[in-house]
Amino acid sequence: MNIVHPSDLQPILTGDPRARRAFVQELTPIVHGHVRRALFRRRARAHRRDVRQDVEDMVQEVFAVLFAEDGKCLRTWSPARGSSFASFVGLVAERHVGAILRSGRRSPWTDDAADPAELEAWLEPGPAPEAHHAQGQLARAVLERVARELSPRGQTFLRVLFLEEKPVNDATSQFGVSADVVYAWRTRIVKRARRIGQRLETNFVHAVRFREVANKKGGNGKENAMIGLSRELAAQLEAWPAQLRASVEGISAEEARLAAPNHGLSVVEHAWHLADLEEEAFAVRMARMLEEDFPHLPDFDGDHEAKVRRYRERDLDTALTRFAAARSANLRRLERVRPDEWARAAVQDGVGSLTLADLVCRMLDHDRSHAAELLERLASLGRTPTPALIEMAGAAPPTPCAA
């Protein structure tokens, strides 16, 4: 679906189901990329919570905004204003995310019912010593995450109800509230712990279980070392540099340096940002998390570095080569990570607390954000995107990265 004039929107605005499905399918990678980018740019305003869990919900909300009131928002687009339709949709997505975070209406949990026993389930160690150690780290990670995302009052309820294990009647007397209020707090805490625990458990516990199987069989190859993050995640991280190079193959130096609409990055700026971030941020963070106890990690301001380092004047091929080499080195280091080391934690500016497993998932999130932006950028240059780029921009996260 190629939308270059407002008249091209008529089948969508008139409610043609096939046109709407094609519209959503084509624009989902673009909306997804802009929502992720906007969330990560504003993550400090989101009280340092893991904003990835909101991406899918916000993508759906963006489409709701586009279709609301008989497509009122879509009808405002005009190519005479200088933006392509894809750029216009991306701008709507970023503004919607900004409006949500400014309003403060996002809540880190929902109030639907959950079984309180599920929180204690994260504290039950497995029978093997290595599993016992990893599950102990998992429990601490879950509790730390829950406590960080609660208000001071919520943290008090967490301590009284789960750490001190006081009954509800004692809590009602201590806080001077009804039993309904105490049960509501318990449900919120359990719900949040369940969501955090389900995501982290794949990285921590499954890695230990597969390592135990490998030890029994005498195997210690690459597949077993990386399986804590899943073969799918490792394969996608490994494939992206080559997919990136294939996506921009044949593009001229002039095209690579052309500025993108709405202050977006040019193709060469994308490549150099990926290369420098891989070398100076992801590699350094990985090393420090493995070598130091709970280090403080600075953020990497990509937009600032693109200007200071004058990425647009640099050579595209050099950036692609450096990115591929840096990604390969990082993956080789991950192959040597022990199961218990996936829980190594740090505090990063603008993000908050995160584990090594989280960091690797963030690498894939970052790859996908750039894939979505490059998809849009190449389309504006009249280039046909590769199937691999389209898939990378719109693929759902594998299990270890799911919110």
SS3 of the chain: the string is CCCCCHHHHHHHHCCCHHHHHHHHHHHHHHHHHHHHHHHHHCHHHHCCCCHHHHHHHHHHHHHHHHHHHHHCCHHHCCHHHCCCHHHHHHHHHHHHHHHHHHHCCCCCCCCCCCCCHHHHHCCCCCCCHHHHHHHHHHHHHHHHHHHHHCCHHHHHHHHHHHHCCCCHHHHHHHHCCCHHHHHHHHHHHHHHHHHHHHHHHHHHHHHHHHHHHHHHHCCCCHHHHHHHHCHHHHHHHHHHHHHHHHHCCCCCHHHHHCCCHHHCCCHHHHHHHHHHHHHHHHHHHHHHHHHCCCCEECCCCHHHHHHHCCHHHCCHHHHHHHHHHHHHHHHHHHHCCCHHHHHCEEEECCCEEEEHHHHHHHHHHHHHHHHHHHHHHHHHCCCCCCHHHHHHHHCCCCHHHCC
Residue pair 141/355 in contact (Cβ under 8 Å)? The answer is yes
In this prediction, residue 114 carries a pLDDT of 38
- Which percentage of the chain shows pLDDT scores above 70? 74
Q: Which CATH number fits domain 117-220: 1.10.10, 3.40.47, 1.10.3470, 1.10.1760?
A: 1.10.10
Q: Please determine whether the domains at 117-220 and 229-401 fall in the same fold group of CATH.
A: no
> Which tokens in the block code for residue 192?
């949040």
In this prediction, residue 262 carries a pLDDT of 67
Exposed, middle or buried by CB within 10 Å (0-12, 13-18, 19+), for 156? middle
Q: Which residue type does 111 have? A: D
In this prediction, residue 278 carries a pLDDT of 96
Please state which CATH number belongs to domain 229-401. Answer: 1.20.120.450
Do β-strands 352-355 and 345-348 pair in parallel, antiparallel, or remain unpaired? Answer: antiparallel
Q: What is the pLDDT of residues 167-201, one digit of tens each?
A: 888 888 888 888 878 888 888 888 888 777 765 55
Report residues of the chain scoring pLDDT below 50: 45-50, 105-134, 202-227, 398-400, 402-403
In this prediction, residue 181 carries a pLDDT of 82
In this prediction, residue 201 carries a pLDDT of 56
How far apart, in whole angstroms, are the C-alpha atoms of residue 286 and residue 270?
22
Domain ranges for the chain, please list them: 6-103, 117-220, 229-401
In this prediction, residue 13 carries a pLDDT of 86
